[in-house]
Chain A
């Protein structure tokens, strides 16, 4: 069965510090992998996606993620966090045009 695990429910970082949000998945094959961000009152916005090829993918807002097949992980990173990055982050997996399976999310708090 498919599953997505985001082990960190809540992370607090200082503005300017680096960030890594963890995501592990369980799937029958190598799925398509996504990171979404959800700000209060806003819809989910796609940050980046991985389908194949280079395992380090770049996204919007300075985010990147690395796919590691051996660890079934797809961790999200940002070298320097901005206060506007405070939001809920969701990792998701899917296959082609099918539905997405989401993790439970990681809430990011940014302190000045």
Chain B
């Protein structure tokens, strides 16, 4: 079946602009995660959704970052007043939460470049 998809694959924007990054999880997966991967680093957790609600948003770096998942499927990560330091690959993952573990399936990421 189809995996996690993310659009766009690349996004170039100017400092101060607003951007939206989209994630389509695997059908039926109830949990959705956003991570940010800076150059030379491992992915860093941003936010986790269980259904429509954000179960853990402790990784969002500041209030310029916001994410929604209004219908419990597609999610959008929104970044206001972008800064050059926001340049990174933004990864989305989804999982079918069960009682014992979550295996997260990752999308290919969106590479964001802020000029």
Q: How far is the CB of A105 from chain B (nearest CB, A)?
A: 5
**B50 within 8 Å of A by Cβ?**
yes
**A32 within 8 Å of B by Cβ?**
yes
Q: Is the interface of B mostly helix, strand, loop or mixed?
A: loop
For the side of the interface on B, what is the size category?
20 to 34
Contacts of B59 in A (CB 8 A): 99
List the A residue with the shortest CB-CB distance to B103. Answer: A46
- A12-B100 Cα distance, complex, nearest whole Å: 37
Interface positions of A from 70 to 112, Cβ below 8 Å from B: 90, 92, 94, 96-105
Residues on A lying within 8 angstroms of B by beta carbon are 4, 32, 36, 41-46, 49, 51, 90, 92, 94, 96-105
Please tell me if the beta carbons of A100 and B101 are within 8 angstroms of each other in the complex.
no
